[in-house]
Amino acid sequence: MIIVFKPNITKKDEAAVLQEIKRLGYRPHIMRGVARTVVGAIGDELTHKSLESLIALFPQVVESVMPVQKRFKLVSREAHPANSTINARGIVIGGRKIQVMAGPCSVESERQLLTTAEAVKAAGATILRGGAFKPRTSPYEFQGLGERGLKLLAKARKATGLAVITELLSEDHAELVAEYTDIVQIGARNAQNFQLLIAAAKTGKPVLLKRGLSMRIEEWLLAGEYVLSNGNSSLMFCERGIRTFETYTRNTLDLSAVPIIKQESHCPIVIDPSQGCGRAELVAAMCKGAVAMGADALLIEVHPSPAEALSDGGQQLCLDGFVALMAELKPFIEAVGRE
């Protein structure tokens, strides 16, 4: 159930309603907007007492009580009609500005990372991406630098001022990753690892949830529900291509997911064109399409020397390629009324 508060209520009134929601057997989840505060009441509506009584008990506080028809409750537009924004180290994702997250697939060395970080910042990126722990198909492939990679990301952040996003692979590493990153990424292979999603949520950091390799959109939205229902309201979805019969590209980037997520959810939507097609020469076109479709951010792989990359070199842009891409994107961004 969704409880909508009237504007300008006092903290005392809000606390009284929240206490009553708990007494009736529900767990309240608060979502604060510019004009309204909305509470998602999480619990079994078949066994707990009705929340309709809140209107009569608190007529000066509660504006309405509404059931949510979707299986996904807190991520839905029904729960939160206005777009949500995510704040990561002062960078707002989901607002008027399209944010660009850029950096290497894997953190390989201090020189490689700092060179890339300085270049992508100069070109207009606001968030540095880089994998410290790498999920690889083969156990014999480069698995990342681990904690040393996290420390290098933190060093690059200090040197450039860029926010940092990196992937969390294990519940055991949740606190360690949260110590060094500004956004926790959950990759495609772990998109339905629900205990990992809960651990990521409980770090309190914004969570970027990639779509699974063969994940239906409803399953993706329900996976996001694990983040919001565990006390973390800073969730963004990331379309990174799905597995189809096509082999020309590494994955099939589903740009139709952008308007669908916008329709079904209030959470920001990010597009990863590098993973989405697996071919560096297609990244620019995919970015332009993503911007036109309404994406809130782009997640782009960039490397000083892609041919020498320890992972996924074929899909990473070189530094000059990234500079050219950012210039090409400007008219597309302006055309859709974004910055």
β-sheet bridge partners, residue 103:
301
Q: Where are the domains of the chain?
A: 2-66, 86-335
Q: What is this structure's pTM?
A: 0.88
161: Cβ–Cβ under 8 A, 6 or more apart, which residues? 121
CATH architecture for the domain at 86-335: Alpha-Beta Barrel (3.20)
Q: How far apart, in Å, do the first and last CA atoms of the chain sit?
A: 36
Q: What is the CA radius of gyration of the chain?
A: 21
Query: For residues 182 and 261, what is the distance between their CA atoms, to the nearest angstrom?
Result: 23
Q: At what angle do helices 110-123 and 147-160 cross, to 10 degrees?
A: 40
Strands (E), 22-84: 27-32, 37-42, 62-66
Q: How many Cβ atoms are within 10 Å of 256's Cβ, its own excluded?
A: 11
Digit-by-digit pLDDT tens for the chain (339 residues) are 888 888 888 889 889 999 998 988 888 888 776 667 888 888 776 666 678 888 888 888 898 887 777 788 889 988 788 899 999 999 999 999 999 999 999 999 999 999 999 999 999 999 999 999 988 888 888 888 999 999 999 999 999 999 999 999 999 999 999 999 999 999 999 999 999 999 999 999 999 999 999 999 999 999 999 999 898 999 999 999 999 999 999 999 999 999 999 999 999 999 999 999 999 999 999 999 999 999 999 999 999 999 999 999 999 999 999 999 999 999 999 999 999
Nearest in space to 108 (alpha carbons), one of 302, 282, 240, 314? 302
Query: 2-66 — its CATH code?
Result: 3.30.70.1140
